[in-house]
Structure 1
Amino acid sequence: MDKTGSGVERTNGEHEFTTLASEDVYVGTILALRADEVGMPGGGHARREVVEHLGAVAVVAIDEQDRVVLLHQYRYPVGRRLWELPAGLLDVAGEEPVRTARRELVEEAGIAATDWSVLVDVVSSPGFTDESIRIFLATGLSDVDRPEAVGDEEADLVVHRVPFDEAVDMVLAGEIVNAPAVSGLLAAKAVRDGARPARPVDAEWRDRPQRFRRRLGR
């Protein structure tokens, strides 16, 4: 047994999950789907379908009036508009995550920020995808020109500045359900309450997706 940083004792499983076979089902521009046969404890094997993802960033941007920047945006898979943080894919070759976050904050909300740190990293749904999202805290906000979005859901998104405590209440009331927004807002509250400090922008990101990036040569 060993201990986590919280002092909780835990045990680790010992089986090595090996890939016995793998086939591509679909390869697109922002994700791929592969099907693997994986060696299981006891000598058997099981099929695991895995969505490979580029990874993403999101931003909890808080202004001097203690308001957080939220987007109200239509999401086709769930069939409705969701409250979200400014966010985007890590789809530019060689671009550091914090640079992507800066760019997305400008492009989606028309906002620049001077001070950046890492709040939390989220593996969104590890049962079927390697997607991981790094969520930043940004302060020292200023308005800048926002590029015009044409031809997709972003052309319809609306930018709001919501009192931070109200946004946290929206999470707990089930009004904000987007995973990066829920995680980022609650992490920001913990940091602001002094539970622990935020991390530097170049902090280790252990689970940043790599496989799909390698497919694309990025």
Structure 2
Amino acid sequence: MRVEDVAESWEVTDSKERFAARVISVRTDTVRMPGDETADRDYVVHPGSVAVLAIDEDDKVLMIRQYRHPVRRLLWEVPAGIRDVPGEPLVDCAARELAEEAGYRARTWHTLLDIYTSPGMCDERIRIFLARDLSPIPEEENDYVHRHEEIGMPVEWIPLQEAVEKAMAGMIHNSPAIAGILAAYAASADGFKGLRPADAPEA
């Protein structure tokens, strides 16, 4: 049997926006279920995101630490950001986030994963890229200015094997970071040859 997610859309008989903020909104859709019954489904509407698993020639992963207020924790993460420029190729968005949050550029890009962060309550989709052949961007060449949430975010290089161990030990909690680390570890077995190109379409 071929295991693959498929697109399907059940009839929405009513839809109400409950809340709208700068980035997200909350909707209630009344959905026609099997058996011709209806049920209300509340969910967060999100523009989508990208994340970058950057790995150097020594198989070390670039990680940053960021305060996340909803969970009241400083989390170890990978560079990531919202798809906030209409029509921008996702890999360009990822390159921008890598420059903004970590001050690096990459010559080699591949699509690593496509994930939904929490599909039972949110439509956010994240494309995680693998970035290699990295080099620091000289400060005078980096056109990106840190936003307030990016100031003071330390950059650390962690061996990929160690990052896997920390994820499995419950020491890393950020979902795109964990997914990216484990996927990169699996993909490294064949030298990353089986990965999709950076501009692969989203299914």
Q: Which residue of 2 aligns with 1:127?
A: 120
Aligned amino acid, residue 173 of structure 1: A
| Residue in structure 2 matched with residue 33 of structure 1 by the alignment | 26
Q: What residue number does 1:176 align with?
A: 172
Which of 196, 199, 202 matches 2:199?
202
CA contact (8 A) 1:34 1:50 kept: yes
In structure 1, distance between residues paired with 2:63 and 2:46: 24
Q: What letter corresponds to residue 2 of structure 2 in structure 1?
A: T
Aligned length: 196
**Separation in 2 of the partners of 1:63 and 1:74?**
25
Instruction: Give the alignment of 1:86-105 within 5 angstroms.
Output: 86-105=79-98
SS for the counterpart of 1:156 is coil
1:149 paired residue number: 146
Structure 1 position 82, deviation (Å): 0.5
Deviations 1:56-98 (A, max 9, x none): 1111101122211001111000001011000111001211100
Does the residue aligned with 2:161 lie in a helix, a strand or coil?
Answer: helix
- Counterpart mapping for 1:41-190 below 5 A: 41-144=34-137, 145=139, 147-150=144-147, 152-190=148-186
Cα distance, 1:17 vs structure 2: 2.3
Give the % identical residues: 43
Between the aligned partners of 1:149 and 1:110, the Cα distance in structure 2 is 10
Cα 1:51–1:16 change in 2 (3 A) is closer
The root-mean-square deviation of aligned C-alpha atoms, in Å, is 2.0
Partner of 2:189: 193
SS of residue matched to 1:51: strand
TM-score normalized by the length of structure 1: 0.84
Alignment-mate amino acid for residue 170 of structure 1: K
For the residues of structure 1 that align with 2:9 and 2:160, how far apart are their CA atoms? 44
Change in CA separation of 1:94 and 1:16 when aligned onto 2, cut-off 3 Å: closer
Q: Which runs of 4+ in 1 moved over 4 A?
A: none
CA distance in 1, matches of 2:189, 2:174: 23
Q: Does the residue aligned with 1:205 lie in a helix, a strand or coil?
A: coil
CA distance in structure 1 between the partners assigned to 2:197 and 2:9 by the alignment = 33
Cα offset for 1:51? 1.0
Q: Distance in 2 between matches of 1:154 and 1:205?
A: 28
Instruction: Tell me, yes or no, if the aligned pair for 1:190 and 1:196 is still in contact at 8 Å.
Output: no
2:199 aligns to what SS in structure 1? coil
The one-letter amino acid paired with 1:39 is: R
Amino acid at match of 1:200: P
Query: Residue 115 of structure 1: CA displacement?
Result: 0.2
Q: Distance in 1 between matches of 2:26 and 2:71?
A: 20
Aligned-pair CA distance for 1:40: 1.5
